[in-house]
Amino acid sequence: MDIQKMINDLVSKVTGNSDLFAKLTSDPAATIKELTGFDVNADQIKEIINGVTKALGENAGDVLKEGKGLLDKVKNLFGK
């Protein structure tokens, strides 16, 4: 399993997709398996998430905030 290739693949998939990025950060193991087909252990998850976050740079935090903000707005529409 090539961790760097997985990081690159994940970066390309989550770039511009705040929902997918939020899913990756909230449930990394399941999301990594869903997007790559590989089961990863805790050390690999940490390495992958760090790599993705580093590759996305400071925008990673903005993407997550935007995703949460959008989710909050949708919840408010439905009174939940």
Q: pLDDT (tens digit, 0 to 9) for every residue of the chain, 80 residues total?
A: 799 999 999 989 988 888 888 888 788 889 999 999 999 888 888 888 888 888 877 555 555 554 445 445 445 555 54
Q: What is the pLDDT of residue 9?
A: 92
* Integer Cα distance of 29 and 74 in angstroms: 26
Query: Which of 68, 58, 55 has its CA nearest to residue 23?
Result: 68
Q: What is the DSSP string of 59-79?
A: HHHHHHHHHHHHHHHHHHHTT
Domain parsing of the chain, residue ranges: 3-77
